[in-house]
Amino acid sequence: MTKPFFIQLVFFVLTSLSGFSQSTPPQPVGPLPNANQLRWQKMEYYAFIHFSINTYTDMAWGLGNEDPKLFNPTKLDCRQWARICKEAGMKGIIFTAKHHSGFCLWPSKYTEYSVKNVPWRNGKADIVRELADACKEYGLKFGVYLSPWDRNHADYGKPEYITYFRNQLTELLTNYGDIFEVWYDGANGGSGYYGGANETRKIDAKTYYDWANTYKLVRKLQPNIVIWNDGGDRADLRWVGTEAGYVGETNWSLLNATGDVPEEQLRHGVENGNAWVPGEVNTSIRPEWFYHEREDRKVKTLPQLMDTYYNSIGRNGTLLLNFPIMPNGLINELDEKAVQAFAKARNEAFAVNLAKNATATASQVRGKNAAYAANKAIDADLDSYWATDDAVRNASLTLTFNKPTAFNRFLVQEPIRLGQRVKSFTVEALVDGNWKEIARETTIGYKRILRFPTVEATQLRLTILDAKGSPLISNLDVYKAPLILTPPMITRNQAGDIQIKAGDTESELYYTLDGSTPTAASAKYTAPVKTGNGKVDLKAITYNPFTKQSSVLSEEKFDVARSAWKILSTESKSAYQALDGNPGTSWHQDKSQTMPADLIIDLGKEENLTGFRYLPAQNWWEEASIITHYEFEVSTDNKTWKRVSEGEFSNIKNSPFWQTKPFAPIRARYIKLRALKNTQDGSASGYAEVDVVTQ
């Protein structure tokens, strides 16, 4: 029914006088997320699970020729995986149904290289089914990883393989219920078994897979899915350019949908990008994605996991945290404990939202309308928001606490269904009557969480300095998180002296050298510990004398000291940075050095060698690249050499951590690490550290 004319007139006059027209909702500032991307973003935290045939060969990537008989998870229990994920607060699981080896964890009709040809359970198992069922039971969403690169399949590289790939995808997206996300890794390393051809096959990742048609198939089979792909075409989500567990502080959920995406844009998104492609931070709870017993002492510590949280979910990303499955088919107890502690610490940090004890006021409210008032940012309803008039780009929102309040965390959210808008903002605290700036930042997005030293204040002010449209804030929380002590960093220099460092200045450090667990009664660290030339097992804790709390333990096992080592293959003094025990410093081959490039070292005396270790330059993108293929030789006289190991450092570019290559025991005095290939053709290879393992 239309309103009588005079009411319409009064309405018109009122709206014109008071800016009431601004009581209509603000227009979106595109590009915008679609419903699947919005649903996905709200999941925030979910698991990756890596398990395959190479779990049984202790490799990062299978070669495609591994014997299916090796696959023997005697205690397999997908319900254990789901329980752990659920208790950890995760919302779903993405499973490596097929990794690069090509081995399928479901009985695909299209290949013999799968669980159907293993003696375990007489070839009757379907691990994808077991996990899909366990996810349902625990109320988790389920996703699949199907590696496009297949090192087993004879047709890989030919058009026929694309049909095979889509057939497999159809099986996975048809037979296992709702799939929330599908993952296509971009690795296309080249060499493989390929049905017995044992050769290197190169494909053009942009054209070979014909992603556009694969995506159509995916969306037809699973209309609610999100697609992750860092290979060819951009999909619904983007890789953030690293597997180290963080996205850029500036993080736009936008990208230009076509063309190559430089690493910089993966990390930060693109402010004026033409498509909504939010970042997903994928990282493993251990250095590598698959299980290696040697990494049992390298499980991410609580402070590392908390950093990962703030650097992913706290920066407008989601967190995809990986569990490697052990050969027996279970998640390791240490990993379980780590995610439990992580969940507990998050619950403690975000237990009490202090913004609840505050009143909110704003410099400007859209049409002076209560529906957009400042308190909409603290009303615990994520759908309502504080808004300003359309023309506003700069505005502030102030919380006034009912008493002086101490806090060290600030959480802020934009209603992203109307677009990501904020370009820059500050947070200030009113301390003793003066405004003190505690943060000056750029983007917000779905969620931004800031950490800063505790301040006690009567007011807190969020000022939007600039935005792509009128700023909208749907939520604002304030917390006082308890302090978490960081485990100490332990390094040993070439002379064999050990340095221990705490993450803060208040704490003390205690250590042991006899394998026992250090306490505040153990040796106190005051200066580098002289440990001579032998092997050393050092354990240390950070201890806060005021709260009497200790950190999680750090442990480093060092092999023989490198004090007598001499580098023979170069005169360059800086080459010794590869032996200095400091992972932060590195040496790179001379730029004129062509491949293969040798690093020859005299150990000073004969040793019983059983392996070598290589840590690539950690800032490799700036000056030197990472060795991916190598040969390792040893000698007693620096003349006749014996090759004791050769192969690839799989996935080292994305996971630039320590690489350990064991070999049969041998006595030698000279070692030669030969780089055959590195990540950037024609560039110099970089070394942060090179070490040996002795018997």
In the complex, minimum distance from the CB of residue 180 to ligand FUL, in angstroms, rounded to a whole number:
17
In the complex, minimum distance from the CB of residue 145 to ligand FUL, in angstroms, rounded to a whole number:
7
Q: Name which position in 651, 659, 679, 683 contacts ligand FUL (CB under 6 A).
A: 651
Does residue 659 belong to the site contacting ligand FUL (CB under 6 A)? no
Residue number with CB closer to ligand FUL (291 or 510): 291
By the 8 A CB rule, do 305 and 245 touch? no
Decide: helix, strand or coil at residue 296.
helix
Q: Which of 256, 274, 653 is closest to 266 using CA atoms?
A: 256
CA atoms within 13 A on the CB side of 297: 10
Decide: helix, strand or coil at residue 447.
coil
The DSSP letter of residue 264 is: H
- Chain-centroid distance, C-alpha 528: 33
Structure tokens given for 220: 């037809």
By the 8 A CB rule, do 409 and 480 touch? yes
Residue number with CB closer to ligand FUL (618 or 650): 650
Residue number with CB closer to ligand FUL (51 or 215): 51
Q: Name which position in 289, 386, 425, 525 contacts ligand FUL (CB under 6 A).
A: 289
Looking at residues 241 to 260 of the shown chain, list those that interact with ligand FUL (rule: CB under 6 A): none
The mark string for 267-286 relative to ligand FUL (x by CB under 6 A, - otherwise) is: ---------------x----
By the 8 A CB rule, do 188 and 231 touch? yes
In the complex, minimum distance from the CB of residue 284 to ligand FUL, in angstroms, rounded to a whole number:
8
Residue number with CB closer to ligand FUL (61 or 558): 61
In the complex, minimum distance from the CB of residue 408 to ligand FUL, in angstroms, rounded to a whole number:
33
By the 8 A CB rule, do 444 and 316 touch? yes
Q: Which residues is 608 bridged to in the sheet?
A: 667
Residue number with CB closer to ligand FUL (52 or 507): 52
Q: Name which position in 316, 589, 654, 683 contacts ligand FUL (CB under 6 A).
A: 654
The DSSP letter of residue 219 is: H
In the complex, minimum distance from the CB of residue 185 to ligand FUL, in angstroms, rounded to a whole number:
4
| Cα(324)–Cα(331) distance, integer angstroms | 7
Q: Name which position in 181, 185, 335, 689 contacts ligand FUL (CB under 6 A).
A: 185
Residue number with CB closer to ligand FUL (580 or 648): 648
Does residue 187 belong to the site contacting ligand FUL (CB under 6 A)? yes
In the complex, minimum distance from the CB of residue 643 to ligand FUL, in angstroms, rounded to a whole number:
26
Q: Name the residue type at position 240.
A: V
In the complex, minimum distance from the CB of residue 631 to ligand FUL, in angstroms, rounded to a whole number:
22
Decide: helix, strand or coil at residue 658.
coil
Residue number with CB closer to ligand FUL (96 or 507): 96
C-alpha dist (Å) from residue 323 to 283, 335, 526, 579: 9, 7, 37, 32
Residue number with CB closer to ligand FUL (203 or 513): 203
Q: Which of 481, 460, 463 is closest to 471 using CA atoms?
A: 463
In the complex, minimum distance from the CB of residue 291 to ligand FUL, in angstroms, rounded to a whole number:
12
Q: Which residues of 568-587 are buried (b: 16+ CB within 10 A; e: fewer)?
A: ebbeeeebebbbbbebebbb
Number of residues in contact with ligand FUL under rule CB under 6 A? 7
In the complex, minimum distance from the CB of residue 230 to ligand FUL, in angstroms, rounded to a whole number:
8
- Tell me the Cα Rg of the chain: 28
Residue number with CB closer to ligand FUL (282 or 683): 282
Residue 628 φ/ψ, nearest 5 degrees = -110, -30
Q: Which residues of 122-149 are buried (b: 16+ CB within 10 A; e: fewer)?
A: eeebbbbbbbbbbbeebebbbbbbbbbb
Residue number with CB closer to ligand FUL (21 or 680): 680
Residue nearest ligand FUL by beta-carbon distance: 187
Does residue 55 belong to the site contacting ligand FUL (CB under 6 A)? no
SS (H, E, C) 34-84: CHHHHHHHHHCEEEEEECCHHHHCCCCCCCCCCCHHHCCCCCCCHHHHHHH
| Cα(654)–Cα(287) distance, integer angstroms | 11
In the complex, minimum distance from the CB of residue 184 to ligand FUL, in angstroms, rounded to a whole number:
10
In the complex, minimum distance from the CB of residue 187 to ligand FUL, in angstroms, rounded to a whole number:
4
Residue number with CB closer to ligand FUL (288 or 556): 288
| Cα(480)–Cα(322) distance, integer angstroms | 29
Return residues touching ligand FUL (CB under 6 A). 61, 185, 187, 282, 289, 651, 654
